[in-house]
Amino acid sequence: MRNSGFLARSGLFSNAGSTALGAAYWAFVLYLFAPLTVMMLMSFKDANFISFPINSWTLGWYGQVIQDKQFLAAFGYSVLIAVASTLAATIIGVWIALLIEAEGIWMRTVIFALACLPAVVPGMISAISLRIFVRTIDLQTGTAAIILGHTIHAVPFVVVMVLTRLRAMPRSLVDAARDLGADNVVAFFRVTLPFLMPAIVGGMIFCALLSIDDFVRTFFLGGYQATLPMLIFAKIQGGMSPEINAMATLILLVTAAVGLYAEYLTRRARTR
C-alpha cells in the first residue's frame, strides 16, 4: 500500500512537472514570436507612422520596397558578400575539421579552441580588432574587408558542424575505398565528402544567414555601399515607418524559407 501511494504521488508530481515545462515552453515561444508578429502586422498599416490600433490595411509598403532601387542594391550587395564569405568559410572550416581528425596531429584541442575563438569573442571587440588588422595590412575598407570579417566569424560554425559529422563517420568506409584501390584524394571526394555533405550544406546556410544579418562587423569594415542591415539602420535614424517593417518582413520570410529548405535537404541527405 505504501509503495502504491508513493507511486501515485510520483505520477502526480511527474504530470505536474511536465505540464509546467510545457507551459514554460509555450510561454517562451510566445515571447519569441510576439514581437515578430507585431512587426509583420505593422507593415500592413496604411499610415506613415507605427502605432496601434491599425485602422486600415494596405500592401502599398511592400510594393514601395520592391521598387526601391536602394533596397534592391543593398540586397544584391548583401547576397554577394554572403556567397563569397560562405564559400571561403566552408573551405577553411572543412579543412580545419579534417586537420583536427587527421592521424598524427598534435595539440588537437588547441587547434579546435583557436578555430572556435571568433565565435566566442564579443562582436564589438571582434569588429574593432578586424578594423585594426585591415589597416595594418593596408587593406581598404569595403567589400574585401567585409568578406574577410564575415569569413572569420563564420568559420567556427562550419568547423563544429563538420567535425560532429566527421566523428560519426565509420572508419571502415575509407578503409574499404583504399582496399579497392582509391588513393587519399579519390577516397575523400568519393566517400568522405558525400558523407559530410549534410553538415556542409547546413553550415553553408548558417554562414549565409550570419553574413546577411551581421551589422557590427559590416559597420566597422564597410565602405560607402550599404548592406541590408546598414540600410535599415540608416532609415531608422529618420524615424520608424511601416516601410522599415515591410523590409524586415521580407528579409525574415526569405531567411526563414532558406533555413527551412536547408533543414529539409539536411534531413533528406541523412536519410539517404
Is 30 part of a structural domain of the chain?
no
DSSP string, 84-132: HHHHHHHHHHHHHHHHHHSTT-S-HHHHHHHHHHHHHS-HHHHHHHHHH
CATH number at residue 159: 1.10.3720.10
Residues of the chain with pLDDT > 70: what percent?
A: 92
SS3 assignment for 189-255: HHHHHHHHHHHHHHHHHHHHHHHHHCCHHHHHHCCCCCCHHHHHHHHHCCCCCHHHHHHHHHHHHHH
Q: Which of 143, 158, 159, 166 is nearest to 208 (CA)?
A: 158
Phi, psi of 240 (to 5 degrees): -75, 140
pLDDT band at 266 (very low <50, low <70, confident <90, very high): low
The average confidence (pLDDT) of the chain is 83
Dihedral sign for Cα 28, 32, 33, 38, please.
positive
Q: Which domain holds residue 78?
A: 62-271
Residue 233 domain-assigned (yes or no): yes
- In degrees and rounded to multiples of 5, residue 68 shows phi and psi of -75, 115
Backbone φ, ψ for residue 27 (5° rounding): -65, -40
Q: With contact defined as beta carbons under 8 Å apart, do 96 and 159 qualify?
A: yes
Domain membership flag for residue 153 = yes
Asked, for residue 207, whether it belongs to a domain, the answer is yes
Q: pLDDT tens digit string along 34-48?
A: 888 888 888 888 777
Report the pLDDT value the prediction gives residue 123, as an integer from 0 to 100. Answer: 86
Q: What is the number of domains present in the chain?
A: 1
pLDDT at 145 over 70: yes
Please tell me the distance from the alpha carbon of residue 208 to that of residue 196, in angstroms, as a whole number: 18
Q: Please, which pLDDT band fits residue 80 given cuts at 50, 70 and 90?
A: very high
> What confidence score (pLDDT) does residue 271 get?
66
Classify residue 257: in a domain, yes or no.
yes
181, pLDDT greater than 80: no
Cα 259 to Cα 202: distance, rounded to the nearest angstrom: 9
pLDDT attached to residue 106: 83
Residue by residue, DSSP assigns 129-190 as HHHHHHHHTTPPSSHHHHHHHHHHHHHHHHHHHHHHHHHTS-HHHHHHHHHTT--HHHHIII
End-to-end CA distance of the chain: 52
Asked if residue 119 belongs to a domain, the reply is yes
Among 30-34, 146-150, 223-227, 236-240, where is mean pLDDT lowest? 236-240
Q: Is the pLDDT of residue 2 over 60?
A: no
For residue 99, being part of any structural domain is answered with yes
> Which burial class, exposed, middle or buried, applies to 67 when counting CB atoms under 10 A from its CB (0-12, 13-18, 19+)?
exposed
In a domain, 123, yes or no: yes
Residues 6+ apart with CB under 8 A from 252: 36, 40
pTM of the model: 0.81
CA neighbor of 250 nearest in space, from 232, 224, 226, 230: 232
